[in-house]
Structure 1
Amino acid sequence: MREDHEAAGRAGLARWEQRTELPLLWVSLAYLAGYAVRVLAWAAPEVWRDLALAVMFAAWAVFACDYAVRLLLSGEGVRFVRTHWLDSLVLLLPLLRPLRLVAVYSAVQRRRSGRPRLGLYARVMLYAGLAAALLTFTASLAVYHEERLAPGATIRTYGDSVWWAASAITTVGYGDATPVTPVGRTVAVGLMVCGLALFGAVTGSFSSWLIEVFRREGGEGQRPPEG
């Protein structure tokens, strides 16, 4: 009986996620756009900044409702917070929501053609590239927001922040622009860890693809001639 209840909960949760993945993606982008306006248009009229803040609060409310519905449908109770720790983290840090673009893209491709159009290795590299671009953008916004008025800061413009984020996620780290605030350094640590993970995923996928190509070509070269 309990197993049937859990199976029904998983099925309901899967249906809910399938129906809401695209709408939630647009809500995520709206949140990111509102945050970008708050950060970059700091000299704009207050009404625009208030409107952007209202969009952010409305989007977060949608995220919270989605999380609550998924928690109820799962039937896991409090265990849902632990088993879906990434979703719980994203609820606390909504700037990471646009990263769901990766999962949404894969789901849309499967829905249209029954299976993803790209091969496994190509998908890994594509997803890593999309994730890196979104992480660079969100991190540059967060660091610029914290650093531009901080005493002794070397990141004074958004261009400085983008340059720093690009060098951090690629693990280059020139050192000409570095965060000095606690929040900025926390974002830097997270970005560097994510950069290492993404770089490892791309490198491993590319190496595996090359090995597969060489193995396939080697196998074809060893075939006996026909006739």
Structure 2
Amino acid sequence: MKKAVVINLSPKKNGTSVMLGNLCLGFLNEREHQGAIVHLYPHLKDLQQVLSAIEGADTVIMVGPCYINTYPADTVYLLEEIIKHKTILHGQNLYGIIQGGMPYVHTHESGLKMLKLFAKEGNVNYKGGFVIGLGAMLNGQPLDKLPNGKKANRFFNEFLNHVANGENSTAALYRNAQLKLPGIVYWGMANRMNKMIDKGLKEKGIDVTQPSPYFKN
């Protein structure tokens, strides 16, 4: 029986990333894979359990949220530590799943590209990934709660079928699954989101009319 491990790269244990991880496990278990999920954040001070899970697996699936165009920063730390312990890598198949707040997928693809670059440094086979937009909207709920839920479910299951068979999965799958709207709708959504952010900042006593400190010399 093949072994698979899902690495939850999110600080949340019951959010959208874990929901997707559990979908992976359910799908793979039905296809004679022995699977488990390991949460990164409780083990940041001692990664031994995470590293051991990767070493014992035939397939590694890294799933997490998109924070500023890629996975959370601690994902980079994990990948660096894996490279320091290269002996745990023995040709495993590596897949990535990343979900973010934006409805389109191109802003989240950098996370998958990072995994692809990582694979070149170690004895691991990057086989592709899947991007899901509007992940923050789900907050742990099933994929069918998305406006494009039927498409997302169908193409995500195709991706999981590739994982189960150890096959390459192309970007065409998740690009076909994304929610496609006119540009004016995206503009309206971004405008509304910016207003919500400004409201939250004001409630914390932050003057949003002041120049960003990041632009100061």
Q: TM-score, normalised by structure 2?
A: 0.23
Which structure dedicates a bigger proportion of its chain to helix? 1
Larger radius of gyration: 1
Q: TM-score, normalised by structure 1?
A: 0.23
